[in-house]
Every structure is written in C-alpha cells, then in structure tokens.
C-alpha cells in the first residue's frame, strides 16, 4: 500500500468530472487500499479518487470510531433523497483546516458497486449521508467550498494559495541548505 498525494483546492484537477469504473481487477483493489491508507493517514473519514488525481467514480468512506468499517462505493448514484435537509459543518482533505456549514439531504439511498463489481444499496442518514454526498460531489468536480458565498470562497482560496507558496518556499530553502 502507499500514501497518495491529495490535491489541494484550488487545484483545477479537482474540477474534473470522473468517469465510470469499467474494470474490476487487482489494480482497482490496490487503488482502494491505497486510498484507504491515505484517508486514514490524513486523517479523514472519506476520500474520492478525484482527490488523488484518479478521475474514476470511486470513493472510500469509514465513519467508524475504530476505523475498521471501510466501504468502497464504485460508480455510486443517489437513487432517493429526502426532501428534508440538514446543515453539517464539513471539512475536506483537499481544503485543509477549513470547516463550514453545508446544507444537504438528511437521508439518502445509494446504489453502488463493490470492489468485485457486485451491486449493493445503502440507506444513510446523519454523518454517513453527509459524507456520501460530499464525496460524490468530488466525482462531479465540485468541492464543498463552492456551496459557500463567493466572499468566503475567495478568502479560502487566497489563504490556501498563500500557504502553498509558503510550503514551496520552505522546501526550496531546505533544498538549498543541503547543497552547501
């Protein structure tokens, strides 16, 4: 297994729409395992393949306290959503350190395939429903900050770009220091 690089907002690759998975093989199983390891290491409760620059319809989720209830949702689709909505404070591994309220369906029913290509359905509410909807947004090229006001979104973008520049500059200085 390997820790994968998580794309950071506002990376334009986060806006690429994922395509359906068509091949269920050892390569897909390895991707699921690598995504799970990456998610747990981050640490997070969900990760979409789009966030690791693999633009296929695949998400991994584990909302358990013990981190032993991983589920891979391949080619997921919401087949029912409640009219009732709820607001949850969401965060994202691609938008580190930022949390804000997003309104989503309170209950959903999802149809997906497992890593072997077998279909399954899940009814979800609470945190699981929020997490599934959040990760499925990534497959459509949407990041949760796009639900926020343009002012908030621009502040977040500016903050993350500044942090990225600072990290790049630190890396340059460390590299330069090793040369002497």
Annotated binding site: 92, 134, 138
Query: What is the C-alpha separation between 129 and 106, in angstroms, rounded?
Result: 7
Euclidean distance between CA atoms 100 and 89, whole angstroms: 5
Q: Is 96 helix (H, G, I), strand (E, B) or coil?
A: strand
The CATH number assigned to the domain with range 10-147 reads 3.90.45.10
pLDDT in tens, 146-165: 999 999 999 999 999 898 88
Tell me whether the omega of the peptide bond preceding residue 43 falls within 30 degrees of 0, making it cis: yes
The 3-state DSSP class for residue 25 equals coil
Q: Which of these, 170, 176, 173, 14, lies nearest to 92 by C-alpha position?
A: 14
Cite the active site residues.
135
Q: List helix spans (H) across 77-149.
A: 126-139
**Minimal CA–CA distance to 166: which of 8, 4, 2?**
8
Per the annotation, binding residues for Fe cation are: 92, 134, 138
Query: Is the pLDDT at 68 greater than 90, yes or no?
Result: yes
| pLDDT for 172 | 76
Instruction: Quote the CA–CA distance of 100 and 87 in Å, as a whole number.
Output: 9
| Percentage of residues in the chain having pLDDT higher than 90 | 88
| Cα–Cα distance list, 152 to 96, 156, 159 (Å) | 15, 6, 11
What pLDDT, in 10s, does the model give residues 92-134? 999 999 999 999 999 999 999 999 999 999 999 999 999 999 9
């Amino acid at each position: 297994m390997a820790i994968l690089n998580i794309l950071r907002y506002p990376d334009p690759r986060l806006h690429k729409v994922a395509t359906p998975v068509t091949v269920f093989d050892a390569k897909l199983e390895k991707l699921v395992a690598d995504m799970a390891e990456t998610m747990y290491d981050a640490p997070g409760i969900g990760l979409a393949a789009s966030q690791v620059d693999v633009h296929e319809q695949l998400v991994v989720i584990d909302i358990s306290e013990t981190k032993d209830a991983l589920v891979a949702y391949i080619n997921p689709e919401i087949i029912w959503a409640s009219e009732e909505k709820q607001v949850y404070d969401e965060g994202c591994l691609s938008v580190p350190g930022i949390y804000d309220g997003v309104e989503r369906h309170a209950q959903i029913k999802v149809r997906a395939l497992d890593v072997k290509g077998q279909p399954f359905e899940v009814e979800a509410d609470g945190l699981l429903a929020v997490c599934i909807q959040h990760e499925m947004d990534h497959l459509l090229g949407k990041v949760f900050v796009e639900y926020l006001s343009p002012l908030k979104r621009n502040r977040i973008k500016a903050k993350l770009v500044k942090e990225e520049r600072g990290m790049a500059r630190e890396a340059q200085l460390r590299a330069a220091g090793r040369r002497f």
